Structure formats: structure tokens, C-alpha cells
Amino acid sequence: MGFRVVVAGDIAGVNYKDAIKADLENDPRVDEVIDAGVKQGEDVDYPHVAVNAARMIAEGKADRGIFVCGTGMGVAMAANKVKGIRASTAHDSFSVERLVLSNNAQVLCLGERVIGKELARRLAKEFLNYEFDETSASAAKVDALCAYEED
């Protein structure tokens, strides 16, 4: 079974969000792409967009998320407010790899005002190359991280 991916972005990230959405819709590894907004021209602040999209993952409606704002940092902070979600900005290939293999993150965050569009599209693609290994040495560290989550 392929990935169900939710994409989201604020007004500063909507162009990359839409480009990545189009790529995912043509990616054979992806079964479903959910667009959590915003639409072009719509202005909803990043905390609302990212929390709404992250909740879809927490509720089991999507497996992965790719969230975009100006820097990638605001959407990451917002997504991490949702219990069970691990999200981070990652703007290079190695970080994207470790985001999944070390941190078992479900959400990659990108900054439209920080990196070029082709790099953003490439990193989004690479994000789906990796699956967390529950038997790896990183698993206990992720468990320890999750244990700090408060109700």
C-alpha cells in the first residue's frame, strides 16, 4: 500500500505546496494526496494550517505530511503541538534521511523563502524514500522522546 500524504502551506508557502502536490499526484508510491490548504490567494496563518493538517496524521487519515511556510520553522513548531506528531524543517538530503531514520518524523517542513523550488521538490520526493526501522538503535530514542509528551 502506498503513502497517503497531506500537504499544507500558508500564503508564503502555497506555491511550493502546490508544486509538491502536483509531483505527489504523479508519484506511483503515493495512493492519496490530501490538500489541507491554503488555496492560492487565501490567507490563513501558518499555525492553523499546520495544526489542522497534522491532526489528519494523528487521526490516521494520512501517513505523512509536507508542510511549507516562509521558513519551514513555523509550520514545524505548530505541527509539533499535535500529540504524536514529529515534524521538522530539513533543507538538505542528509537531514531528510535522518528525519525519518533517526526521528521517525511523519512531517517534513520546508521554507519557500529559504530554498529553491527544485531543491524543495527533490527533498519532498526523497522524504518518501525512507521508512523508519522499529528494530533500529534509533527506536529507543524515539520512544524516549515520545515519553516526554504530556496529555
Ligand X SMILES: O=C(CO)[C@H](O)COP(=O)(O)O
Least distance from ligand X to the Cβ atom of residue 93, Å: 22
Q: How far is CA 101 from the centre of its chain?
A: 14
Whose Cβ is closer to ligand X: residue 63's or residue 112's? 112
Instruction: Compute the distance between CA of residue 118 and CA of residue 98 in angstroms, rounded to an integer.
Output: 20
Whose Cβ is closer to ligand X: residue 5's or residue 12's? 12
Output the residue with the shortest Cβ distance to ligand X. Answer: 74
For residue 114, give the nearest of 68, 55, 78, 70 by alpha carbon.
Answer: 70
For ligand X, the binding residues in 103-132 under the rule CB under 6 A are none
Among 16, 46, 127, 132, binds ligand X (CB under 6 A): 46
Per DSSP, what are the bridge partners of residue 6?
Answer: 34, 65
DSSP annotation string for 10-68 = -TTTHHHHHHHHHHHHT-TTEEEEEE--PPTT----HHHHHHHHHHHHHTTS-SEEEEE
For ligand X, the binding residues in 57-96 under the rule CB under 6 A are 69-71, 73-74
* Active site amino acids: 69
Does position 44 interact with ligand X (CB under 6 A)? The reply is no
Contact residues: ligand X, CB under 6 A = 10, 12, 46, 69-71, 73-74
